[in-house]
Chain A
Amino acid sequence: EVQLVESGGGLVQPGGSLRLSCAASGFTFSSYWMSWVRQAPGKGLEWVANIKQDGSEKYYVDSVKGRFTISRDNAKNSLYLQMNSLRAEDTAVYYCARGGAARDYYGMDVWGQGTTVTVSS
């Protein structure tokens, strides 16, 4: 079964850091672009970042540039999101998704269940 499972969410103070992980199974992880998408409470979806199969290309939404870093470990079938200098507006459910390249034919076709990040003092 194709599956993505996020972990690492929690409560963190403003200015703090958190590292999210996404474990992939059931498909050849190293063959796909991967993405992070977030959803603030009661709000819509916001794309956060994506990364190429070999990690050589990464793109970020402007609001997280310089604070968040997307990475992957193909040997461990895992995707990561290192989040530093967290702000209240980063509070959201963070989803890991398969796909999401610029000219992606298939779109983000597999999603995890999400992990919740709350930034509050």
Chain B
Amino acid sequence: QSVLTQPPSASGTPGQRVTISCSGSSSNIGSNYVYWYQQLPGTAPKLLIYRNNQRPSGVPDRFSGSKSGTSASLAISGLRSEDEADYYCAAWDDSLSGHVFGTGTKVTVL
């Protein structure tokens, strides 16, 4: 039940800044924390951002998260080839009493 909407793809050249949007509603993003996960090809997801804009230790500061109202975004600055991956936003949904993930965005480094 993907109730969080993301663009299917995003791309940029090395060094550029890429932004991924995540649109939700008052029952999820509007009232709960947003998380972002990175999934490299063939691997398990990895937590990239927690509590809307916090980075776990080891995540480069090129990755940043923000939230406003019922939307959130992930920005990748100084794009690198190793950033090619699928990115998912997520949040708890009070109406569903469960976590919801975004539809996912595939980032390509040109």
Kindly identify which residue among A50, A61, A107, A114 contacts B1, using a CB–CB cutoff of 8 Å. A61
Interface residues of B (CB under 8 A from A): 1-2, 32-33, 35, 37, 39, 44-47, 50-51, 56, 86, 88, 90, 92, 94, 96-104
Return chain A residues, CB-CB under 8 Å to B98: 47, 50, 59-62
User: Do B50 and A106 touch across chains, with their CB atoms under 8 A apart?
Assistant: yes
> What is the interface size of chain A, counting residues whose CB is below 8 A from a CB of the partner?
26
Given contacts A44-B104, A45-B104, contact A107 B96 (CB under 8 A): no
A-B contact count (CB 8 A): 77
CB distance from A84 to the nearest CB of B (A): 19
Given contacts A106-B50, A107-B33, A109-B56, contact A44 B101 (CB under 8 A): yes
Given contacts A47-B98, A50-B99, A108-B35, contact A62 B45 (CB under 8 A): no
